[in-house]
Structure 1
Amino acid sequence: MSETLKVEQSSASDAPLEGGPVLKREMGFWSSFSLAFAFMSPIIGLYAVFALALTAAGPSFWWGMLVVLACQCLVALVLAELASRWPVAGGVCLWSRSLLGHTYSWYAGWAYIWTLVITVAAVSYGGSTFLASFLGWENPSSLTKVLLGAVILAISTIANSAGRRWLSLFVTISIICEVIASLGVGLVLIIFYRKNSLSTIFESFSSPSDSSAYIFGPFLAAVAIIGWSFVGFESAGAIAEEVRSPERKVPRAIITSLITVASVITFSALALLLAIPDLKAAVSGADPDPISTTLTTHFGVGISRPLLILIVLGFIAGVVALQAAVSRAIFAFARIDALPAAKTLRRLSKSDSLPINAVLVSAVASMLILAISASQVYGALISFATVGFYIAFAFPVVAALIVRLKGEWKQGPFSLGKFGLVINVAAVLWLGFEIINIAWPRMTDGPWYQNYSVIIIFVLLGISGYVLEKKLRKKSSSLI
């Protein structure tokens, strides 16, 4: 296999790397899109935030989905430009390196890799609840959830190691299941089982009487929660090096996956809001699982088992896509000697040129985090996983703005043209706002370490990253 990195790109693009093992270009637009679709996962995005956002802001939280979607489109457009110029493995990490250099990008990669690793553990643990229900295990213990989460993670690791064709096939089948379980169920609910009027989405029930107090209180809290659902579109760029003619296909996959998945989640959320049998009980928290209650009420217990299969497959597909993205990020960093044991981590399998070692390392790291999921520390890790995506996005988006302001920006095959600067500025402002919004300590009744968990973990990862980066830089200098 050639040791020279050859990136298929236009003359307007700048290759960020000059050498290293090369991933095979065996995927097309559909593979890139489907991986991002599975990463975002309508099932995970909907089930993870619906009850929380409904309790936080009432039915009018639904408008927060439109706000987050519109603002995330700004980010997607900027990242699509970067993917067009640098269609190589690593995505967020390597885009940052190409714009502002190695040290800047190292912290982008450090934040992104840990965010993905933590999210893999979180989604595996979340899927374990539905897997337990499918197996007929009521009220599973924390240990049982951890073990079932480990099973989901093991299936994902096998799927990511079996070959790109098997990975694409698995993700495609899972997408079909996701569409049935989210869009299909939503259509049936909104057509045949409407219990509440459309005006419901303008109500908050327990919100402050002052509209401004509601917007800057419960509504912003809902926007912070919803932020978890509309991330993952950037993963289409993480596998750009494995896509044929990626300069145009990958940007299209990034934008299309965000709009498609967000639209499905938004529609399904509306259908559920209009079909909930006891909306006030759901808003107050008296009904802790309004989705299950709604489905059981309208479809009966008999339909729950087939739906559970679809939901479990959706969670597995999400873990597969997440692990694929983090393994490519690890491989990309190892290829430029930016991680310990880089030589091992950048090694590819002989048959399919897959970063198997990176896949296994990501699995082990996620398994360790999964093992502590029964403790209070896990809640803090989940909070960081949400804000971690926005912090990781901020690195390349801010870097792109700096390069634009210096007058050094070069257009790729996909370009925003004269609107590039305006969209870039707006994307930076949105990311800064959402990072603060998510990290804001709102749990006034909880322990201080939970209330400030995002900030604490961010500082700890920042310090550990600083120490490791210094050691790697010193080691690199000693070899020159």
Structure 2
Amino acid sequence: MTSAPETASGRLVPRLGLLSLVVFGLSYMAPAIVVSTFGVISTTSAGAAPTAYLIATVAMTLTAASYGKLARDHPTSGSVYTYARKLLGSRIGFLAGWALLLDYLFLPMVAWLIQALYLHVQFPILPTWGWLVTVIAVTTLVNALGVVIADRVNKVLLGLTTLGLLAIVVVCVHTVGGAPAGDGAHALWNPAVSLGTVTAAAAIAAYSFLGFDAISTLSEEVRDPRRNVPRGILLTVLIGGGIFFAVSLLLQWVHPGTVFQDEATAGYEVATLAGGKGFADVTNAISLIGGLASCVAIQASTSRLMYVMGRDGVLPRRAFGYLHPRSRTPLFNLLLIAAIGLPATTLSLTTATSFINFGAFLAFTLVNICVITAWVRHRRAGTPRPVLTHVVLPVLGAAADVYLLTKLDRTAVLLGSAWLVLGIAYLGVLTRGFRREPPELHLEAREQAASAAAPQ
């Protein structure tokens, strides 16, 4: 007698719990990024970095709540691609997945490139391209061995990152220990701060949260996904936002104002001011460790999104919908993502990140629209849901996401729009001039057939 025919149904295997989900989400977000981006956010906000992070946390929490509602109703991998397909139609779902694919394809490249750049600075024994190849090889191997191995690696690396951040907190607290209590309030708001400066900085700070939605791509690998995935998404945003706020508050308290030698390395400058150069070097190494965990998580979630689109036949099924029989990982996708990341050193970091932001905020907006659409359907079916949580909050979340989208530079909007036009053209070819529905895998029917065919 056999148990659930997981391999026969072509589904991923549920092995992760709530803790693993939160670790995955936080690893993806890389909490140490608050140190790396502190200078930019502090300068943009006129010296109120923690307030910018607080506003960003509220905005992202609204969208996280929408993700949680959809993950509870649709506990399958695919994130906004799956949600939009089921609620807004197959064509919108395809374009949502296409936009998200833009975000996910370039995220690993950017993560690997940043990691390689910092490793070269810290350890110049290898050139940047040498470190790039090394990091890509390591993360690809970890992910190829299976989600359980990746989960264990992420837990270890995130634990080391947490220790590093705690060290920064302790040193900063010691530094400001003798300062008047009023100085802390100055880090939250000062005469130079305005609503415009702090919201502009919040738009930048929101980029630090990219990745909380990646938890939804693991729904089929989670035990009790209807319960754990929504909780994991919300906890990731709240814990990540709390870390960003607390650390940026202390950094801003140690270094009031916006005058830095280089805003790109202001976090290192503040760490040196608080604990000396040796301490700053250690914290920089900790950031590198956290970055490696982020690379593992980013590549894993991207491969899952491509797997679901391949399983649906939107991408060639034989390649993208393939799972390795032993590790149950989308091996082809992992190798393809690694290959795409190899030419990263030839690209501008600014150009690559501009792609990411466009796809992310467009996807976030669609998620909130999906929740409102679900509310309309349930209302028509005679099973109404609360207006506050299913209409008002998603509307606020969508408005916040659109606002963040308008804060992107012109290059990001143009490049992102070009990618969407390319997606529409591909959709036209796939549907023979939009006369047919995009292909879809009816997974529930396949599972029932597999169960009936399984030996008893």
Shared fold, TM over 0.5: yes
- 1:153-203 deviations in Å (ceiling 9; x for gaps): 222111111122211110000111121122341233123445682133245
Contact 1:183 1:268 in 2 (8 A): no
Residue 269 of structure 1, CA deviation: 0.6
**In structure 1, what is the Cα distance between the partners aligned to 2:95 and 2:5?**
23
Q: Aligned letter for 2:284?
A: L
Match of 1:463 among 418, 421, 426: 421
Q: Which residue number in structure 2 is paired with residue 384 of structure 1?
A: 355
Distance 1:89 1:411, change over 3 A: farther
Distance 1:305 1:60, change over 3 A: closer
Q: Which residue number in structure 2 is paired with residue 252 of structure 1?
A: 231
Distance 1:479 1:202, change over 3 A: closer
> What is the DSSP-based 3-state SS (H/G/I as helix, E as strand, rest coil) of the residue aligned with 1:229?
helix
Q: Count matched residues.
A: 431
Q: Which residue number in structure 1 is paired with residue 340 of structure 2?
A: 365
Contact 2:45 2:52 in 1 (8 A): no
Distance 1:466 1:273, change over 3 A: same
Distance 1:367 1:58, change over 3 A: same
Contact 1:159 1:166 in 2 (8 A): yes
Q: Which residue number in structure 2 is paired with residue 427 of structure 1?
A: 397
Contact 1:131 1:308 in 2 (8 A): no
Q: Aligned letter for 1:242?
A: E
Contact 2:112 2:341 in 1 (8 A): no
Alignment of 1:168 with 2:143, yes or no, is no
Q: Which residue number in structure 1 is paired with residue 84 of structure 2?
A: 96
**In structure 1, what is the Cα distance between the partners aligned to 2:162 and 2:278?**
20
Q: Aligned letter for 2:14?
A: R
**In structure 2, what is the Cα distance between the partners aligned to 1:314 and 1:115?**
20
Alignment of 1:328-339 (within 5 A): 328-339=304-315
Alignment of 1:88-127 (within 5 A): 88-127=76-115
Q: Which residue number in structure 2 is paired with residue 445 of structure 1?
A: none
Distance 1:364 1:409, change over 3 A: farther
Residue 5 of structure 1, CA deviation: 9.3
Distance 1:157 1:189, change over 3 A: same
Q: Percent identity?
A: 18
Contact 1:183 1:267 in 2 (8 A): no
Q: Which residue number in structure 2 is paired with residue 56 of structure 1?
A: 44
Distance 1:395 1:147, change over 3 A: farther
Distance 1:287 1:344, change over 3 A: closer
Q: Which residue number in structure 2 is paired with residue 400 of structure 1?
A: 371
Alignment of 1:286-301 (within 5 A): 288-301=264-277
Q: Which residue number in structure 2 is paired with residue 322 of structure 1?
A: 298
Distance 1:32 1:248, change over 3 A: same
Distance 1:55 1:85, change over 3 A: same
- 1:183-242 deviations in Å (ceiling 9; x for gaps): 34123312344568213324567x4xxx7xx323x3232122111012211111110100
Alignment of 1:77 with 2:65, yes or no, is yes
Alignment of 1:33 with 2:8, yes or no, is no
**In structure 2, what is the Cα distance between the partners aligned to 1:289 and 1:409?**
54
Distance 1:132 1:455, change over 3 A: same
Q: Give the unaligned 5+ runs of structure 1.
A: 7-18, 442-451
Alignment of 1:130-279 (within 5 A): 130-136=118-124, 144-193=127-176, 197-202=183-188, 207=192, 214-216=194-196, 218-276=197-255, 279=257
**In structure 1, what is the Cα distance between the partners aligned to 2:118 and 2:233?**
29
**In structure 2, what is the Cα distance between the partners aligned to 1:202 and 1:94?**
40
Distance 1:411 1:94, change over 3 A: farther
Contact 2:113 2:345 in 1 (8 A): no
Alignment of 1:11-30 (within 5 A): 21-30=10-19
Distance 1:303 1:98, change over 3 A: same
Distance 1:454 1:287, change over 3 A: closer
Residue 320 of structure 1, CA deviation: 0.9
Q: Aligned letter for 2:142?
A: A
Residue 68 of structure 1, CA deviation: 1.2
Q: Aligned letter for 1:148?
A: W
> What is the DSSP-based 3-state SS (H/G/I as helix, E as strand, rest coil) of the residue aligned with 2:325?
coil
Distance 1:287 1:60, change over 3 A: closer
Residue 303 of structure 1, CA deviation: 3.0
> What is the DSSP-based 3-state SS (H/G/I as helix, E as strand, rest coil) of the residue aligned with 2:59?
helix
Contact 1:231 1:389 in 2 (8 A): yes
**In structure 2, what is the Cα distance between the partners aligned to 1:88 and 1:223?**
31
Q: Aligned letter for 2:277?
A: V
Residue 420 of structure 1, CA deviation: 2.1
Contact 1:85 1:247 in 2 (8 A): yes
CA RMSD in angstroms comes to 2.9
Q: Aligned letter for 1:343?
A: R
Q: Which residue number in structure 2 is paired with residue 309 of structure 1?
A: 285
**In structure 2, what is the Cα distance between the partners aligned to 1:349 and 1:308?**
37
**In structure 1, what is the Cα distance between the partners aligned to 2:401 and 2:13?**
33
Residue 417 of structure 1, CA deviation: 7.6
TM-score normalised over the length of structure 1: 0.82
TM-score normalised over the length of structure 2: 0.86
> What is the DSSP-based 3-state SS (H/G/I as helix, E as strand, rest coil) of the residue aligned with 1:227?
helix
**In structure 2, what is the Cα distance between the partners aligned to 1:267 and 1:293?**
18
Q: Give the unaligned 5+ runs of structure 2.
A: 440-456
- 1:83-132 deviations in Å (ceiling 9; x for gaps): 11111111121111121222111111111111122121112222223312
**In structure 2, what is the Cα distance between the partners aligned to 1:325 and 1:405?**
30
Residue 136 of structure 1, CA deviation: 5.0
